């Protein structure tokens, strides 16, 4: 069905000559390509868009007291509505359209700006930059003296295949619909988790009357390990969870990782295991939704009773900063099995923990349902984007795109 959807929106009956190719700077007569200003020259009280603010096809930044507008300082980096902002450093190629919310803001040098009165150009470029062909070109043209960087001159010369206008509008509508639904699902999932957090915090008022015990009494902890340099005997392919997978997830679930490798079956954590990673500002915990191996710097916590899983998770979330003090090293990057097992955990009577589970479990089920729906939406988007590059390369006389599913996109949990 996903392949049919992608094919329908690219079109099987388009004439081969319908797609044209040109350098980015030549896509429109009024096209303007520039970049932001140095961090030292940033104006006060004016919103600033940095590379880290451009993610998942949109600008996400909250700067209270900062705004745009005609009364603010005007520079080449001042954003206008329908501009395309492009990340030039590290996550090269991430892009977003400027909306009314960020009009009048400025960007830093790590962000490129593409502007044209023909808004279908910037709409298409936002989609094109995510295709396999565009990403391959970017990887060939980045410099990496310190971190991957694409120069503004290289961006101007980037080849872009452009479909007919009506096709751009349909693709823009479809991609926007998928992204909006994905964000709605993330919002619902985050609200469900927040309600569970709030419920636990409410119960925490009675903490002084609850008994405590060590984590080692109610859960088994195991220390993550580095992957072996040689393939293990009877090894099976599995996801490997790194600290970054846990620290960067938006929701307390791990539905996959950036890395896969061979693992001994005995090292694989079953779904429902709580993985922990630490950093100076606190501990982060995520429940595995599929089998995964805890990598180096990760602590795996296996609840003795599955009904205690959500109680343990919310205890870890509530006491994130406090518990992270047990981590080792200058940057508090690792907590040992022994140190964790000796930490105290609030452990009231069974009926109290069961009552909390009765409320928290359905909330987490709602959140995980939205995560699963996002996984399907992202597979659809990846299929669509994968089909665009072959369609652009299609020789004369070809009748349809070659579909080639790419890697799974992020769904709000580490994946």
Give the model confidence (pLDDT) of 174-184 as tens digits: 999 999 999 99
Domain match, 104 and 196 both: no
Q: Which of 168, 56, 49 is nearest to 112 (CA)?
A: 49
Q: Which of 51, 24, 42 is nearest to 78 (CA)?
A: 42
pLDDT (average), residues 130-154: 92
Instruction: Evaluate whether residue 196 is within a structural domain.
Output: yes
Instruction: Evaluate whether residue 193 is within a structural domain.
Output: yes
Query: Can you tell me the distance from the alpha carbon of 96 to that of 51, in angstroms, rounded to the nearest whole number?
Result: 11
Query: Can you tell me the distance from the alpha carbon of 351 to that of 303, in angstroms, rounded to the nearest whole number?
Result: 17
Domain match, 239 and 291 both: yes
Domain match, 154 and 200 both: no
List the CATH number of the domain containing 265. Answer: 3.90.220.20
Q: Which residues contact 77 (CB under 8 A, 6 or more apart)?
A: 34, 35, 36, 37, 106, 107, 108, 113
Domain match, 323 and 230 both: yes
Domain match, 199 and 146 both: no
Q: What is the per-residue pLDDT for 75?
A: 79
**SS3 of residue 74 by DSSP:** coil
Domain match, 236 and 296 both: yes
Query: Can you tell me the distance from the alpha carbon of 258 to that of 239, in angstroms, rounded to the nearest whole number?
Result: 8
Residue 257 near residue 248, CB atoms below 8 Å: no
pLDDT (average), residues 242-267: 90
Q: What is the per-residue pLDDT for 202?
A: 95
Instruction: Evaluate whether residue 352 is within a structural domain.
Output: no
Full strand arrangement of the beta sheet holding 299-303:
219-223, 299-303, 274-279, 282-288, 253-254
Domain match, 158 and 24 both: yes
Of the three residues 347, 376, 401, the one that is the final residue of a domain is 347
Instruction: Evaluate whether residue 410 is within a structural domain.
Output: yes
User: Residue 125, exposed/middle/buried by CB under 10 A (0-12, 13-18, 19+)?
Assistant: buried
Instruction: Evaluate whether residue 38 is within a structural domain.
Output: yes
Per-residue pLDDT tens digits for 351-408: 999 999 999 999 999 999 999 999 999 999 999 998 886 666 654 334 333 323 333 3
Instruction: Evaluate whether residue 57 is within a structural domain.
Output: yes
Q: Which of 149, 125, 111, 115 is nearest to 35 (CA)?
A: 111
Residue 111 near residue 49, CB atoms below 8 Å: yes
Query: Can you tell me the distance from the alpha carbon of 384 to that of 405, in angstroms, rounded to the nearest whole number?
Result: 8
Distance, C-alpha 236 to centroid of its chain? 27
pLDDT score of 279 more than 70: yes
Domain region containing 55? 20-162
Structural domain count, the chain: 3
pLDDT score of 262 more than 80: yes
Q: Which residues contact 371 (CB under 8 A, 6 or more apart)?
A: 185, 189, 251, 253, 255, 289, 411, 412, 413
Query: Can you tell me the distance from the alpha carbon of 155 to that of 142, in angstroms, rounded to the nearest whole number?
Result: 10
Domain match, 221 and 343 both: yes
In percent, the amount of the chain with pLDDT more than 90 equals: 68
Of the three residues 139, 162, 185, the one that is the final residue of a domain is 162
Q: What is the per-residue pLDDT for 256?
A: 81
Domain match, 64 and 121 both: yes
Domain match, 26 and 158 both: yes
Q: What is the per-residue pLDDT for 377?
A: 96
Domain match, 264 and 326 both: yes
Domain match, 136 and 179 both: no
Of the three residues 322, 347, 372, the one that is the final residue of a domain is 347
Query: Can you tell me the distance from the alpha carbon of 42 to that of 155, in angstroms, rounded to the nearest whole number?
Result: 24
Instruction: Evaluate whether residue 336 is within a structural domain.
Output: yes
Instruction: Evaluate whether residue 353 is within a structural domain.
Output: no
């Amino acid at each position: 069905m996903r392949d049919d959807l992608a094919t329908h929106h690219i079109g099987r009956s388009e004439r081969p000559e319908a797609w044209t190719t040109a350098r980015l700077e030549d896509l429109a007569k009024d096209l303007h390509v520039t970049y932001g200003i140095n961090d030292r020259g940033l104006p006060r009280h004016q919103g600033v868009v940095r590379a880290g603010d451009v993610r998942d096809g949109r600008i996400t930044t909250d700067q209270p007291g900062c705004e745009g507008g005609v009364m603010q300082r005007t520079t080449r980096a001042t954003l206008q509505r329908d501009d395309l902002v492009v990340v030039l450093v590290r996550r090269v190629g991430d892009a977003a359209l400027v909306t009314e919310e960020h009009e009048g803001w400025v960007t830093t040098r790590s962000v490129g700006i593409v502007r044209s009165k023909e808004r279908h150009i910037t709409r298409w470029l936002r989609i094109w930059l995510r295709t396999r062909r565009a990403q391959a070109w970017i990887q060939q043209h980045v410099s990496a003296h310190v971190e991957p960087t694409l120069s503004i001159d290289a961006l101007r010369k980037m080849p872009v295949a452009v479909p007919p206008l009506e096709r751009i509008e349909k693709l823009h509508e479809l991609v926007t619909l998928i992204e909006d639904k994905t964000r709605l699902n993330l919002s619902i999932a985050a609200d469900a988790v927040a309600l569970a957090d709030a419920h636990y915090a409410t119960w925490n008022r009675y903490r002084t009357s609850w008994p405590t015990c060590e984590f080692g009494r109610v859960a088994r902890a195991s220390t993550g390990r580095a992957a072996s340099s040689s393939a293990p005997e009877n090894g099976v392919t599995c996801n490997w969870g790194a600290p970054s997978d846990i620290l960067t997830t938006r929701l307390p679930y791990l539905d996959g990782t950036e890395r896969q490798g061979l693992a001994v079956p005995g090292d694989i954590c079953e779904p429902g295991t709580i993985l922990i990673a630490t950093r100076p500002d606190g501990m982060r915990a995520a429940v595995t939704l599929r089998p995964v191996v805890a990598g180096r710097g990760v602590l795996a916590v296996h609840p003795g009773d599955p009904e205690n899983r959500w109680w343990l998770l919310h205890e870890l979330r509530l006491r994130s900063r406090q518990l992270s003090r047990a981590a080792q090293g200058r940057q508090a990057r690792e907590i040992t099995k022994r140190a964790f097992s000796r930490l105290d955990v609030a452990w009231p009577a069974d009926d109290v923990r069961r009552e909390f589970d009765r409320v928290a479990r359905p909330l987490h089920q709602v959140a995980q349902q939205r995560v699963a729906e996002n996984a399907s939406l992202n597979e659809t988007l990846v299929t669509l984007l994968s089909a665009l590059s072959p369609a652009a390369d299609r020789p004369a006389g070809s009748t349809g795109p070659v579909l080639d599913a790419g890697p799974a996109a992020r769904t709000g949990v580490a994946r």
